[in-house]
Amino acid sequence: MARRRGLRRAHRGGRRALDGRRSAPRLARHRALTPRRPAPRVGYPALMPWRTLVGLSLLAVVAAPAAASDERVPPPGPGGRPGPRPAAPVEAAERPAYAIGHKWFLTDGTYELKRLDGRDYVFVGPGRELRLTPELAVAGVRRGADYVDFRPPPRLKWPLRAGLWGSGETNWRVSRLPKNVAGLSTAGGLRVTWQVRAPEDVTVPAGRFTAWRIDYEVFQTGAGGRQTPVWQFSTWYAPAVRQLVKADDDGTGWLSFEVASIEATPPAMATGPTPPPPPATTPPVATPAPPARVAPPTPSGDTEAPRIVINYPPADIKLESERIVVLGVVSDNVGVDRVQVTVNGVEVPQERGMEARGRAIRVPATLRPGDNVIEITATDKAGNVAQVVRTITRVVAVAPPSPAPVVKTANRWAVIIGVGTYANPTIPRLRYATRDAEAMYRFLTTKGGYPKDNVLLLTDGAGQKPTLQNIRRALGEFLYRKPGREDMVLI
């Protein structure tokens, strides 16, 4: 090695000396003909001495773990304690599952999951009702006299991902149109389109949440086959609390709420789809069924739902009565556990009867003008649920206008007596008595409105003299027999 180093040094020195002795033209020609090594392409580190490169490499190896750890440890918080770790980006949200009795505390009241309508959750609040599919799509809203029902409801796809969308045909029943659009009706075919937006921060009375926004747009086919948007609304689902934390529509107020507080126990997550069985060479292993979402496990394998028979009122009947009595019977092969009757979303208390395998229904109901929805939900001891819905229309009879009262005009009667000359000569003659009596007679029979046949004049110059006999006849017969009870008499 020492000899080889020496040779290399001697060679380099000889080349320097030789270049110094050569003339400039010869030196240029020598350098042009002498092959040289290509320049390294790795940049500045290749020009460093090998000892420097080895030192830098060891330093990088020692510092690498510290640098990696600095990236994973969050910056210190107050007081030197480690701060909160940054939240990982949310890429998808899994679907929750709710049980009977679960509550949502919203700004307009407490909503409790009371029953199932087929597959749909029915949350009942104070005079309100919210129906959601297991995928948390809006299936129906009922607020006082206003209601919207989608049959079938939209079908969301889970897990939620930004950009997911869907569209489908459906029908609706609505108390009134959300918008005054010509040619549209409150019952008919629709198209509902939904789309999932990227997660965003939502601030509600219960706090601030990262939520997925789902936009819905409802179209209805109008005149000429043109589809016109009639309703838009949005819901926000927060995976952290596993529920909808906000809903807003385009001004109708039917679907508008925010979460006021969160229930302490969050709902469970829905079980995903069952994986495919293994190949036929090995017997497939049966996957245990997930626990029931709403009802307890069915004992003894009973899957038969209760049978509900409503004897009164019939379906789609129109009544004028404000109060009716709902009559019916609920029966089951195992036993009826609970029967719930609601009128326009409000539960009506009832008396128990027939506790064996059936229960009689006898519930008084007060109907409001217009459509009234009566729902009877029965649950047996095995957890099977059945429901019957009846729509009753109360017609308010318009009373015919009462005839104008007959005003009976009172008849008028009069007896006018004017005595000017008396039979007794000792009584002086009255000069103006006869003239005054005749003037009164003329006034009453003209401007006074008295019929002439109803006025009897007794004066010295009249046909009947004012004698005692004629005066008794006028008062005792004329005024006694002819005037009625309500007539007016003037003497």
Per-residue pLDDT of the chain (491 residues; tens, 9 = 90+): 555 555 455 555 555 544 444 455 555 555 555 555 554 444 444 445 555 555 555 554 444 443 333 333 344 444 444 444 444 445 677 888 888 888 888 888 889 998 888 888 999 988 889 889 988 899 888 887 778 888 888 888 888 888 888 888 888 777 776 655 444 555 556 788 999 999 999 999 888 999 999 999 888 766 666 777 888 889 999 999 999 999 988 777 778 889 888 876 777 776 554 444 444 444 444 444 444 344 444 445 678 888 898 888 888 888 888 889 888 888 888 888 888 899 988 888 876 655 556 788 888 988 999 999 898 998 888 888 888 888 889 998 776 776 766 666 678 888 888 888 888 888 888 888 888 888 888 888 888 888 888 888 888 877 788 888 888 888 888 877 778 778 888 78
How are strands ordered across the β-sheet holding 412-418?
Answer: 455-459, 412-418, 488-490
Q: Which two tokens stand for residue 329?
A: 């019977």
Three-state secondary structure readout of 373-409: EEEEEEEECCCCEEEEEEEEEECCCCCCCCCCCCCCC
**Are 330 and 353 a contacting pair, CB within 8 Å?**
no
pLDDT at 31: 57
Q: Which two tokens stand for residue 230?
A: 């009639």
| CB proximity list for 52: less than 8 A, separation 6 or greater | none
| CB proximity list for 123: less than 8 A, separation 6 or greater | 104, 111, 112, 113, 114, 129, 130, 131, 132
**Are 108 and 125 a contacting pair, CB within 8 Å?**
yes
pLDDT at 295: 41
**HSE-up of residue 115 (Cα within 13 Å, Cβ side):** 22
Place of tokens 């206003």: 146
**Are 192 and 217 a contacting pair, CB within 8 Å?**
yes
Superfamily of domain 96-269, CATH level 4: YmcC-like (2.40.360.10)
pLDDT at 23: 53
pLDDT at 250: 76
Q: What topology does CATH give the domain 304-394?
A: Immunoglobulin-like (2.60.40)
pLDDT at 196: 93
Among candidate residues 379, 388, 386, the one with its CA nearest the CA of residue 337: 379
pLDDT at 86: 42
pLDDT at 189: 67
Q: Is the peptide bond before 403 cis (omega within 30 degrees of 0)?
A: no
Show the CA angle centred on residue 301, arms to residues 297 and 304, nearest 5°.
95
pLDDT at 27: 52
pLDDT at 255: 83
CA distances from 419 to 10, 438, 460 (A): 184, 11, 6
Q: Report the relative pairing of strands 336-343 and 109-117 from DSSP bridges.
A: unpaired
**Are 315 and 391 a contacting pair, CB within 8 Å?**
yes
Instruction: Report helix, strand or coil for 12.
Output: helix
Q: Is the peptide bond before 159 cis (omega within 30 degrees of 0)?
A: yes
**Are 236 and 202 a contacting pair, CB within 8 Å?**
yes
DSSP designation for 149: E
**Distance (Å, rounded) from C-alpha 289 to C-alpha 311?**
39
pTM metric for this prediction: 0.41
pLDDT at 381: 83
**Distance (Å, rounded) from C-alpha 370 to C-alpha 145?**
9
**Distance (Å, rounded) from C-alpha 195 to C-alpha 162?**
8
Instruction: Report helix, strand or coil for 34.
Output: coil
